[in-house]
Amino acid sequence: MSIAGIVIFVQIVPEIQSSFALFFSGLSCLTLVGYFAETLQNYRIQRLETEAAAQRSIQAQKMEATGQLVGGVAHDFNNILTAVLGNLELYSEVPDTLQKDQFVKDAKTSAELAAKTIKLLMAYSRQAQLDVQRVPLTDIFEQLQNFSRQLLPSSIQIDFRPPEPSITILVDQHQLLTALINLIVNARDAISGNGQVIVGSRVFIAGPEEPKLIGYALKPGTYIEIFVTDDGPGIAPELLAKITTPFFTTKPLGKGSGLGLSMVEGFARQSGGGLKIKSSGRTTSVAILLPLTDQECT
């Protein structure tokens, strides 16, 4: 704008005969240049203040995320420790030696899962080295059934639908168990009062036209779908697209970190599969999809 004013001033100066008019024309041009310079300065100050405010906001979000992360990890550890303590309490209550041995074994396995939770956090960022082995899916279900006894109240029934004994998968067994326990805990928290949780599996074939999951698509192939379904109130349609976003949670303050599903999804994708979520007004089903081929997990 000031450049245009200078150009106009230069063009009209030769036409001005009066020194008085020439003086005021020059003064007007200088005023315009000064106004433009002040505007630029104010814009620069405003931009710097905006950037500084954005940096402060990012720092505040980082601090909040750190607090949520600490609270969420503590929440997950508490769930696992509940299983440890529950088994040890049952150990002191029953006289049968075989039952005592089983409770000790379950408590030990739960304690090992607590250590594996850190690896699941790394899987969320897709940086963990997975300990992949071929595992019968029935073994996973048996262990999960033992853990779930300590996680669900008597008001919630759990229905396990075991897979075919012939089905085996290449997976990090401990991380899969931790991920499924996370889904069962989420299902428990979604149910108010009496309810039911169903844990089952089925073969899922993904074709080239397979619809996208949340933000990504499965490679064509054969997968095993391990699902956890609850009859809680469901998830609102507008929330489904961001339900796996880190630190996003529908739970009350202090009840969840918003990292659970993010970590489960990170583990599933790192294992070559993905996470599928379906919800209506009466049920929610969350499924971990894992490849049934011998492709290498990265």
Whether pTM > 0.75 for this model: the answer is: no
Residues 39-83 have pLDDT tens digits of: 777 778 877 777 766 666 555 555 555 555 566 666 677 777 888
Q: Which of 219, 187, 164, 154 is nearest to 284 (CA)?
A: 187
Q: What's the confidence (pLDDT) of residue 160?
A: 92
Q: What's the confidence (pLDDT) of residue 50?
A: 73
Contact 278/284 with Cβ under 8 angstroms? Answer: yes
Contact 200/161 with Cβ under 8 angstroms? Answer: yes
Rounded Cα distance, 287 and 259, in Å: 17
Rounded Cα distance, 274 and 243, in Å: 14
Outline where 94-172 has alpha helix (H).
97-124, 137-151
Q: What's the confidence (pLDDT) of residue 131?
A: 79
Which ranges of the chain have pLDDT less than 70?
A: 1-30, 32-33, 52-75, 115-129, 208-216, 242, 244-260, 293-298
Rounded Cα distance, 234 and 192, in Å: 12
Q: How far apart are the first and last CA of the chain?
A: 58
Rounded Cα distance, 11 and 45, in Å: 34
**Top CATH class, 70-291:** alpha beta
